[in-house]
Structure 1
Amino acid sequence: MFNLYPSVGEVNGDRSNFNYGAVLGAASQYGQCRTKVDFSERAAEPRDEVKGLVARATFYMFDRYNLNMSRQQQQLLMAWNKQYPATAWERQRDDRIAAVMGHHNKFVTGERSWTVGYKPVGDGVISKVQGRAAQKPGTATHQLQGNGMIIGNRNSQVYHLPQGCPSYGNVSGKNQELFTLESEAQAAGYRKAGNCR
């Protein structure tokens, strides 16, 4: 839930799976929304008001699911995190989500700090959950690997749904790209796994 925000469909679709970056010289494309997308450079720059929030949500996802982030992306998000610190509203939102999820985004609370070369903890990866790794594939616990999200395989460009897709839990952590909606996965160039019911 820490990574879920309402968004304008067109902006979200255009951002696709582009990295974040500074988009220079691009005119505003989305009316009142000041997010910029550079299609030739495959980069997206959110509006200033949410840059820190984007950085901390990204840190959370990469840390929780043991994902790799390029040095350039780390440096940019670290700068945004410092330039746009957590607001009272963001901390309140974090408290509300923690009441449901059972844990905080530690990059919002200040319990964790991202530095270049940070080693993700991976505390959301199923193999890290004690006493549950022995359950067979297809059980509810096994499906927690993507925390109920759609898992895309970067190598095969195939995505798997948390229910009805037998290979959902078989995507290597380093090859995973997580999505909340099938349309996001499709916009990023993925197709649904053929063995999904």
Structure 2
Amino acid sequence: MALLKRGLLALFVCLFTLSAQAAPQHFAEAKEELRDHVYNDRNQVGDAYCQCTWDWTGRTGGRVHLRECGYQVRAQANRAARIEWEHIVPASNFGRQRQCWQNGGRRNCVSEDPLFRVMEADMHNLTPVVGEVNGDRSNYNFGPVRNVAAQYGACDFKVDFKHRTAQPPPALRGQVARVYFYMADRYDLRLSKQQQRLLMAWDRGHPVSTWERQRDRRIAAIMGHSNPFVTGERSWTLNHRNSREGLVSVVADASRTPASTESTRSAGPIHGNRNSKVYHLPQGCPSYNAMKPSNRVNFDSEAAARAAGYRKAGNCR
């Protein structure tokens, strides 16, 4: 039985490692994975903002069928004719919360900050859209837009340039909310109370669709994890306590040490309790398996746990 348990544990660690290795590490890689394995058969269904179909071109681009979807160019004909990849939570939103952004903006973050690169390449936060709408949305927050006439013909997307606000079509609002919840929870991003209340209303009013679930499964097969606000594992309440799981995983990658220097890595993952910020070793810690799975955060090494702000349990021998 002991041999079987060790074999199953080894298989789990192997599968986890393979999933983590498959996750794209750069924005360009993420777009290719999305083109090939997530949206490969969605180009004839339509983009997220305007429901315009397109023909794939190159590795990740597309030529939009503007006439067929009733799209009218507002100002940028060249961008309107192509598909672009939109960050639902804009890169500047999570970039501004990083020191690298203060020292040189997005280019500096891509060059110097591993966590920014992971966030920028997070496929759960990316969707194909008409390029002109992507450009007009810019980094505006989503919210209600009133007293603005149709700007893109039949495309039900509105931008209030004066108040720097964009309003997605009703069918997308629930997905937008759940992506915002995911990014904030995973990477410890700040959302104002006003944002939270709006997104919570969108989440309640627009339940998870069949496509949203399918999209989540396709992305999870590559990224190694789902959006828990899509699967129902988590729900957002006002002033939600973020799990910070994305920060933990990046810290763990950066803190790994050779197996010869840390014997605990071969025995199994270290269990951290996200509530108490205490970690337990697989050997010598009586409470290793005592915590609820929902409270558990796994680390590859004690160094990674300490770097994430955790301390060793007092009852460990």
1:47 correspondence with 2:169: yes
Cα offset, 1:20, TM superposition: 1.1
Higher relative contact order (CA 8 A, sep 6+): 1
Corresponding residue for 2:194?
Answer: 72
- The answer for the alignment partner of 2:255 in structure 1 is 134
Structure 2 matches for 1:71-150, cutoff 5 A?
Answer: 71-125=193-247, 127-129=248-250, 131-134=252-255
Q: Which residue of 1 aligns with 2:135?
A: 13
Distance 1:100 1:128, change over 3 A: closer
Equivalent residue in structure 2 for 1:34, among 156, 164, 172: 156
Pairs aligned (count): 135
The 1:131–1:60 alpha-carbon spacing in structure 2 relative to 1, beyond 3 Å, is closer
2:16 aligns with: none
* 1:132–1:28 distance in 2 versus 1, CA, 3 Å: same
Shift of 1:61: 1.1
Which whole-Å CA distance do the structure 1 matches of 2:145 and 2:252 have between them?
A: 46
RMSD: 1.7
Scaled by the length of structure 1, what TM-score is found?
Answer: 0.65
How far off is 1:132 after superposition? 3.0
Q: Which runs of 5+ in 2 are unaligned?
A: 1-122, 257-317
What is the SS of the residue equivalent to 1:100? helix
Q: What is the Cα deviation at residue 39 of structure 1?
A: 0.9
* CA distance in structure 1 between the partners assigned to 2:252 and 2:165 by the alignment: 41
Question: Which runs of 5 or more structure 1 residues have no equivalent in the other structure?
Answer: 136-197
Q: TM-score, normalised by structure 2?
A: 0.41
TM-superposed CA distance for 1:115, in Å, is 1.0
> Is residue 59 of structure 1 aligned with residue 178 of structure 2?
no
Q: Distance in 2 between matches of 1:124 and 1:83?
A: 28
Give, in angstroms, the shift of residue 40 of structure 1. 1.0
**Structure 1 residue 60 displacement after superposition:** 1.0
* Superposition deviation, residue 128 in structure 1: 4.7
Q: String of CA shifts for 1:110-143, please: whole Å, max 9, x gaps.
A: 1111111012211111x455643336xxxxxxxx
Kindly provide the amino acid, as one letter, of the partner of residue 166 in structure 2.
A
Tell me, in whole angstroms, the C-alpha distance in 1 between the residues paired with 2:171 and 2:227. Answer: 19
1:160 — aligned with what?
A: none
Percent identity (aligned): 57
The secondary structure found in structure 1 opposite 2:166 is: strand
Question: Separation in 2 of the partners of 1:130 and 1:83?
Answer: 36
Q: Distance in 2 between matches of 1:71 and 1:117?
A: 7
State the secondary structure of the residue aligned to 1:97: helix
Correspondence 1:173-192 to 2 at 5 A: none
Give the AA of the match of 2:134. N
* Structure 2 counterpart SS, 1:7: strand
User: Matched residues in 2 for 1:129 and 1:14: separation?
Assistant: 32
Structure with the largest fraction of helix:
2
Partner of 1:44: helix, strand, or coil?
A: strand
